[in-house]
Amino acid sequence: MKNVELLAPAGDLEKLETALRFGADAVYLGTDRFGLRALAGNFDRDALRQARDLCRARGKKLYLTLNAWLRPEEFPDFAALLEELRPLDLDAYIVGDPGVLATVRQVDPRRVLHLSTQANTTNAPSVNFWQAAGISRVNLARELRLAEIRAIAAATSCELEVFVHGAMCVAWSGRCLLSAALTGREANRGLCAHPCRWRYALMEETRPGEYFPMEEDERGTYVLNSRDLCLVEHLPALVEAGASSLKIEGRMKSVYYVAAVTRVYRAALDRYLADPVGYAFDPLWREELDKVSHRPYGTGFLLGQEDAQVHAADSAYVRACDFVGVVREEQGALVVQGRNRFLPGETLETIGPAMRTAAFCVGEIRSLEGDPLPAGQPNRLVRLTLPEGTQEGDLLRRLVKSKGDTDKI
Element (H, E) at 182: helix 178-183
| Regions of the chain with pLDDT less than 50 | 219-220, 403-409
Contact 328, 395 (CB under 8 A): no
Tell me if 28 sits within 8 A of 251, measured CB to CB.
yes
pLDDT of amino acid 197 = 72
Amino acid 219: pLDDT: 46
Q: Closest by alpha carbon to 149, among 264, 306, 311, 304?
A: 304
Q: How far apart are CA 227 and CA 353, in angstroms?
A: 27
For 269, the 3-state DSSP assignment is helix
Is the CB of residue 262 less than 8 Å from the CB of residue 22? yes
Helix H or strand E encompassing 57: helix 45-57
| pTM: predicted TM-score of the whole model, two decimal places | 0.88
pLDDT at 190: 67
The reported pLDDT for the residue numbered 314 is: 60
- What domains are there in the chain, each with its CATH number? 5-174+225-315 (3.20.20.380), 320-403 (2.40.30.10)
Could you tell me the sign of the dihedral formed by the alpha carbons of 130, 7, 239, 283, in that order?
negative
* Mean model confidence pLDDT for the chain: 89
Angle at 133 between CA 129 and CA 135, to 5 degrees: 90
pLDDT at residue number 39: 55
**In this structure, how many other beta carbons lie within 10 angstroms of the beta carbon of residue 187?**
22
